[in-house]
């Protein structure tokens, strides 16, 4: 790093990224407010968009340019329900995901549109959501690793240059994939916070490589992330994992479980059985066990966010 204003990638010395336009206000707010209280992150975007009429066949990233008003509306509802932190609708908006979903727009356009949609809600902090490339094993000196790192770097820069206050690397199931993601994101972060969240099974192990959550969190801390956490798991798995993470690391711990499993209707639509009170009961325990950032993942909605805001007294 060359200080705020420019980031140089260590393995590709010819590349540099102008970071002078980064919006650091949300990162400062994150530091200051986490020192005072627990924070509430918005609920899911993907499952909410899939639940719209006809939405089950539309890739979530498409909505950022195809119907930005709907994306903005969802962010606004989460903000009105009490969420402190917005997450952009970019979980699957890297170059490989856009190609798979046959979305012709560039990584830069899709991610920039998503940041604009999220910032319209007026939350003090907007994090750019980045999901996994889905590769469980990457040898660090391989061409595959370099391509993965470059893809993560490209999306992270698109998000930060568009005004995101930090990056959330979420639903990662394998450590080696996460290492490439952290490396690529760190190439362009220039001091902006990089948060990490793992997807785990009921035993508290990563769903891809089977690593236990303690080892995963400790390795992420070694790599310089801002926060560690879990998402896209059951409430029961989350409740077991939070104290384990809090003991394994001194970083802020986040927790965002699912609302159960979806039911597919005869028309192909997906619905979840949302139980806000189950989240409320669990949230009390999460806070007692050390969670500092709380939220919900697939299948939950605005009602769950509102209920969590009441528990957190926001």
CB 258 within 8 A of CB 295: no
DSSP class of 56: G
Place of tokens 């903005």: 72
Q: Give the Cα separation of 140 and 128 in Å (integer).
A: 25
∠ CA 70-74-75, rounded to 5° = 120
Q: Give the Cα separation of 144 and 122 in Å (integer).
A: 39
Q: Give the Cα separation of 43 and 28 in Å (integer).
A: 22
Does the annotation list 217 as a binding residue? Answer: no
CB 268 within 8 A of CB 230: no
Q: Give the Cα separation of 156 and 293 in Å (integer).
A: 21
Q: Is 76 helix (H, G, I), strand (E, B) or coil?
A: helix
Q: Give the Cα separation of 262 and 264 in Å (integer).
A: 6
For the chain, how big is the Rg over CA atoms in Å? 18
40 HSE (CA, 13 A, CB side):
25
C-alpha to C-alpha distances, 17 to 11, 35, 147, nearest whole angstrom: 14, 31, 18
At a CB cut-off of 8 Å and minimum separation 6, what does 125 contact?
26, 27, 29, 30, 39, 84, 85, 86, 165, 166
Binding-site residues from annotation for Zn(2+): 232, 297-298
Binding-site residues from annotation: 232, 297-298
């Amino acid at each position: 790093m060359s200080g705020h204003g420019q980031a140089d990638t260590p393995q590709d010395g010819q590349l540099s990224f102008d970071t002078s336009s980064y919006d650091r206000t949300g990162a400062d707010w994150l530091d200051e407010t986490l020192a005072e209280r627990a924070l509430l992150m918005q609920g899911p975007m993907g499952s909410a968009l899939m639940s719209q009429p006809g939405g089950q066949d539309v890739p979530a990233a498409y909505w950022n340019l195809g119907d930005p008003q709907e994306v903005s509306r969802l962010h606004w509802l989460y903000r009105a329900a009490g969420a402190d932190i917005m997450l952009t609708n970019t979980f699957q908006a890297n170059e490989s995901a856009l190609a798979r979903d046959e979305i012709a727009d560039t990584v830069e356009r899709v991610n920039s549109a998503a940041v604009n949609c999220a910032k319209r809600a007026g939350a003090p902090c907007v994090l750019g959501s980045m999901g996994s490339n889905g590769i469980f094993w990457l040898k660090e000196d391989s061409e595959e690793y370099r391509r993965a790192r470059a893809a993560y770097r490209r999306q992270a820069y698109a998000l930060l240059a568009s005004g995101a206050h930090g990056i959330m690397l979420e639903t990662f199931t394998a450590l080696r994939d996460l290492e490439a993601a952290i490396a690529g994101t760190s190439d362009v972060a220039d001091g902006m916070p990089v948060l990490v969240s793992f997807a785990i099974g009921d035993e508290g192990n990563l769903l891809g490589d089977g690593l236990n959550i303690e080892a995963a969190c400790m390795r992420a801390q070694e790599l310089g992330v801002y926060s560690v956490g879990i998402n896209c798991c059951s409430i029961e798995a989350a409740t077991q994992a939070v104290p384990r993470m809090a003991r394994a690391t001194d970083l802020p711990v986040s927790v965002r479980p699912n609302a159960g499993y979806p039911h597919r209707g005869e028309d192909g639509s997906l619905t979840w059985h949302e139980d806000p009170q189950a989240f409320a009961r669990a949230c009390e325990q999460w806070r007692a066990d050390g969670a500092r950032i709380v939220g919900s993942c697939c299948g939950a909605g605005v009602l769950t966010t509102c209920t969590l805001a009441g528990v957190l007294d926001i």
